[in-house]
Amino acid sequence: MFSSTFKRQLTKSIRFQSTFTIPKTQMGVIFETHGGPLHYKEIPVPIPKSTEILINVKYSGVCHTDLHAWKGDWPLPAKLPLVGGHEGAGIVVAKGSAVKNFEIGDLAGIKWLNGSCMSCEFCEQGDESNCEHADLSGYTHDGSFQQYATADAIQAAKIPNGTDLAQVAPILCAGVTVYKALKTADLRAGQWVAISGAAGGLGSLAVQYAKAMGLRVLGIDGGEGKKELFTKCGGDVFIDFTKYSRDENGNDKMINDIKIATNGLGPHGVINVSVSESAISQSCSYVRSTGKVVLVGMPSGAICKSDVFQHVVKSLQIKGSYVGNRADTREALEFFNDGKVKSPIKVVGLSKLPEIYELMEQGKILGRYVVDTAY
Ligand code: NAD
Ligand code: ZN
């Protein structure tokens, strides 16, 4: 069917360039069924397409999204078997023949958005995450819980030489996402922002980005350890949701305390990064009139309830915010490179991933776990 010249070009285009010795197999964590065993085992090293780079992943952050992907609790089909992970930082060890923006030896990052069509209306306007053909790392494309992973060169993050790869890993999803969410909230320096889920992976970075943007930060999370981390991240006022009873009176008291702490009117904006449906709906009650409620965390099957009367007379806005585009990634990394944001991480071996998921499910993680792919 194809002419011999075209066949030759085709063969050439899938050949990749490298000066590294790339093994045929590697260690990674793979699962065959949602909620099934997470196997830490030897798997093949993927071959980059002409438009892709092959990254020797050194470290990867573990995001709550990876837990959703493993459980399969979102209404979005994932590839199976699947290698999860989408906060991978490493070294470019090979590249496809069409790749112009990376050299072998550069540092690069794997993001949630592995690639998109780059030609639809959304991609055209820099909203690539909303592309209907979005390819997602650790979801529709094998991700960063392996020693070698492929990434579309256009979307892969550029990481400056000399960067601490374990530290930068969480910026690639958590950092970019909360930075974009804060931009979506469209607040001014000096205003109050509430971060619901303030000491988790996204939350602990959201607090720091918000402070770096000149905002006053009220954090909501549960327990002394979370309060301590929130304070270390520079947060101003901490509300421990576990100290309020779960009935309506308890909710009213918490809402009241949040308002009192924010000049009696409530925060100007709320970034919801908890995985709690009730916490999300509560944020519509305590946000200040004309304020913005930004939805980021995605508890399975959750509905955001907002009282219509209050919603109208308070003139509220509820906005969804989904990762960030290439410019958001560059900007979020600039805050990190300037030392304005530090990742509160705990590094363990990739083989420990099942234990991290267990702790995450129980809400016991402070900041972010980062896995070292070497063990
Ligand atoms: P995480 O588990 O590290 O953090 C969640 C935090 O919420 C924990 O500290 C937990 O204690 C806290 N929490 C639980 N119940 C709470 C409540 N009632 N009130 C306040 N805080 C509460 O998770 P993460 O990695 O930060 O991810 C959070 C969510 O964001 C997940 O659903 C994830 O899938 C989603 N996410 C969305 C995007 C996006 O683009 N929109 C990107 C990345 C992650
Ligand atoms: Zn993520």
Residue with tokens 């009220």: 218
Lowest-confidence region among 9-13, 25-29, 172-176, 277-281: 9-13
What is the reported pLDDT for 178? 98
Pairing state between β 113-115 and 135-136: antiparallel
Q: Is the pLDDT of residue 4 over 70?
A: no
DSSP assignment string, 323-344: S--HHHHHHHHHHHHTTS----
Q: What is the pLDDT of residues 177-202, one digit of tens each?
A: 999 999 999 999 999 999 999 999 99
Cβ of 322 less than 6 Å from ligand 1: yes
Cβ of 363 less than 6 Å from ligand 1: yes
Q: Which atom of ligand 1 is nearest to the CA of 181?
A: 41
Query: In whole angstroms, what is the distance from residue 182 CA to residue 321 CA?
Result: 9
Report the pLDDT averaged over residues 201-208. 98
Q: Is the pLDDT of residue 81 over 80?
A: yes
Residue with tokens 């209306």: 121
Q: Which of these, 375, 286, 280, lies nearest to 319 by C-alpha position? A: 280
What is the reported pLDDT for 20? 84
Report the pLDDT averaged over residues 91-104. 97
Contacts of 208 (CB under 8 A, 6+ apart): 233, 234, 340, 341, 342
Pocket test for ligand 1, best of 67, 176, 202 (most atoms within 8 A of CB): 202
Contacts of 11 (CB under 8 A, 6+ apart): none
Amino acid at 81: P
What is the reported pLDDT for 15? 60
Q: Is 358 exposed, middle or buried (0-12, 13-18, 19+ CB in 10 A)?
A: exposed
Q: Is the pLDDT of residue 250 over 90?
A: no
**Which alpha helices (DSSP H) does 57-173 contain, by range?**
64-71, 121-124, 165-168
Q: What are the C-alpha distances in Å from 334 to residues 163, 180, 283? A: 12, 13, 30
pTM: 0.95
Cβ of 294 less than 6 Å from ligand 1: no
Lowest-confidence region among 1-10, 58-67, 122-131, 276-285: 1-10
